[in-house]
Structure formats: structure tokens, C-alpha cells
């Protein structure tokens, strides 16, 4: 219930949140966005039209200077020049992550799919009429731009995004563990009731047999449903993707494959660092314990971590 409560009540990182505004201010200081970005009214137009109304916030460079050290880890957002250089290094390196795919032809091995845009560059969201950070997407249900949006969850009554994804993941983890534990506890009593065998257990009173059977059936049903969703998000976490990015990457991969080129996920840093980016760099068993700590760093991987250099997997 702890993770469910925080997933429901935590702002995922919408464009009107303080976390989003801090990222915009840091981007202006770092030179990723023009100074007049802070003057843009990012209120949502209900018709989805671009409203260019502005207001003067009276922000100067000296006021924004303390933002350089904002956050617990004192990380300064890298500039576009650094991002372009790193992105170029990643695109031209002869080796890629293990999950990269390349068609098995001599001609294609020396080709790569050049990204149409810098995956670490900021853009402009027409719906919210404001800056659009990397990995951010507009949610049509809440009509808000969300940092590292994964999906809108009707069971959570909230968008699952950068600031509450860890709560969502841990909710699935512990719900799955709980159902497996309940199944193991009721398995042999259920078999004893249905098979009419003792299995070394004491005689189960008739009044409790229906309760045990019902509990076992419900837990098995929930465990099957949760398993698909939980292990899906395990895969997404370890591969450095969100649900939205998975379909975008799949489409890009198929398009690159059709042209005999290579495609790789620019946010994939390897299993370990992908996990740390979501769960933190603590010990594994500590990272899965309930905690209301804030996510560290940015919604996109810190550029001080470089993708793991491994051989390309051939199809």
C-alpha cells in the first residue's frame, strides 16, 4: 500500500510541477534553451492550439546562478555542445550495446541509422506551448506534458512518469511476491481438498475448505495477470525504455532494418546502469525497500555514463 499510495499521490513530473520548472531553469543556465524560454506561458490550450502569449518573469543570470548546484548530487545539466559530441561519439563507435541488432550482410555491417534528431536535445511542445525535455510526452488524459512518461494508469488514477515510476514498479514487484507467497501457502491444502489426499497435512475442516480453494484460485488468477505486467516492466527497466519508447524504438528498428542499417536505443546504458537510473545506486535489496526518496539526476541518462561497449549481436 505504501508504493501504491505514493504512486497515486506523487506528481509524475508534469509541465506545471516544480521539478519540471527546475529542469527548464537549469537548461536555460546551461545554454540548452534560450533565455526567453522562461517568459513563455506554458498553460494548456484546451483546443490544442499554439498560444504564443508571454509574460515577463524578470529573471536574470544572477538569479539563476544558484540553480547550477540544485539537487542533492550537484549535477549541472550538460550543454547542447556536449550532448552533440557524445551523441556523435556513440553513433560512430565501432561497437554497441549487446541488445543492438544488425542484419547479417557484409554491406549492412558498415552502415548505421543516423538519428533524425539529437535524443538529448530539447524541443517545443505545441500542446502545452512550452519547452519539451528529452523523453517527455504529452498525456491526452490529463492534458499535461509529462517527464519520461510511461503510460496513464487508470488503476492509479495518475500518469506513470519520471517521479513515480519507481513506486509503480515496486508496487508490481511486491504485489507479485505477495501472490506467489499466498499460492505457495495454499497449494498443498488446495491439492489435499481437490485430490482427497493428506500430503502430510492435518485434516482440513469442511468449514475452511471453500475459503482455501477460493483464496488459491484468486491468487493464481492475480499472479498470472500481474506476472505479464511486472516482467514487462522488468524488461523495460533493464533495457532503458519506457512503454512509449519501446514502440518508438521498435518502429525505428524496423525502418532501419528495411534500409539495411543499424539502430540502437540512445538511452540504453546496460542492464546495471539502466537499473540504477530508475532504482538508484544503492544495494539491490535496499533499492527495492519502500522509500519516498526522490529520483536522482535527470529523466534521461547522465552523460557521464557511457553505453557498455560490447560486440554487436547479429541476426
Alpha helices in 196-270 (DSSP H): 206-238, 243-258
DSSP-assigned states of every residue in 170-182: HHHHHHHHHHHHH
The whole-angstrom separation of Cα 38 and Cα 33 is 9
What is d(CA 252, CA 245) in angstroms, rounded to the nearest whole number? 10
| Angle subtended at Cα 81 by Cα 80 and Cα 83, rounded to the nearest 5 degrees | 60
- What phi and psi, each to the nearest 5 degrees, are found at residue 159? -80, 140
Q: Which cell goes with 299?
A: 529523466
H or E element, residue 276: helix 271-279
Residue positions annotated with a catalytic role? 153
- Number of other residues whose CB lies within 10 A of the CB of residue 127: 18
Beta strand pairing call for 151-153 and 158-160 = antiparallel
Cβ neighbours, 10 Å, residue 283: 9
Amino acid at each position: 500500500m505504501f508504493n501504491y499510495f505514493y504512486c497515486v499521490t506523487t506528481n509524475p513530473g508534469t509541465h506545471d510541477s516544480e521539478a519540471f520548472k527546475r529542469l527548464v531553469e537549469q537548461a536555460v543556465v546551461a545554454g540548452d534553451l534560450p533565455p526567453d524560454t522562461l517568459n513563455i506561458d506554458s498553460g494548456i490550450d484546451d483546443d490544442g492550439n499554439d498560444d504564443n502569449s508571454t509574460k515577463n518573469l524578470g529573471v536574470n543570470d544572477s538569479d539563476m546562478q544558484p540553480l547550477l548546484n540544485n539537487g542533492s548530487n550537484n549535477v549541472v545539466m550538460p550543454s547542447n555542445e556536449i550532448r552533440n559530441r557524445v551523441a556523435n561519439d556513440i553513433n560512430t563507435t565501432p561497437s554497441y550495446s549487446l541488445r543492438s541488432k544488425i542484419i547479417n550482410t557484409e554491406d549492412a555491417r558498415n552502415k548505421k541509422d543516423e538519428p533524425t534528431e539529437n535524443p538529448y536535445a530539447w524541443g517545443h511542445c505545441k500542446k502545452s506551448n512550452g519547452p519539451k525535455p528529452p523523453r517527455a510526452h504529452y498525456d491526452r488524459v490529463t492534458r499535461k506534458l509529462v517527464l519520461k512518461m510511461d503510460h496513464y494508469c487508470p488503476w492509479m488514477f495518475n500518469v506513470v512518469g519520471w517521479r513515480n515510476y519507481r513506486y509503480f514498479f515496486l508496487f508490481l514487484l511486491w504485489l507479485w511476491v505477495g501472490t506467489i507467497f499466498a499460492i505457495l501457502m495454499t497449494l498443498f491444502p488446495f491439492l489435499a481438498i481437490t485430490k482427497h489426499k493428506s500430503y502430510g497435512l492435518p485434516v482440513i475442516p469442511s468449514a475452511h475448505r471453500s475459503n482455501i480453494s477460493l483464496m488459491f484460485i484468486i491468487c493464481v488468477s492475480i499472479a498470472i495477470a500481474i506476472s505479464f505486467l511486472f516482467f514487462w516492466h522488468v524488461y523495460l527497466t533493464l533495457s532503458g525504455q519506457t512503454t512509449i519508447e519501446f514502440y518508438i524504438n521498435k518502429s525505428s528498428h524496423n525502418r532501419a532494418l528495411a534500409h539495411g542499417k543499424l539502430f540502437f536505443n540512445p538511452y540504453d546504458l546496460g542492464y546495471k546502469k539502466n537499473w540504477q537510473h530508475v532504482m538508484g545506486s544503492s544495494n539491490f535489496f535496499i533499492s527495492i525497500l519502500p522509500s519516498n526518496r526522490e529520483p536522482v539526476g535527470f529523466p534521461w541518462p547522465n552523460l557521464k555514463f557511457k553505453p557498455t561497449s560490447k560486440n554487436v549481436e547479429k541476426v
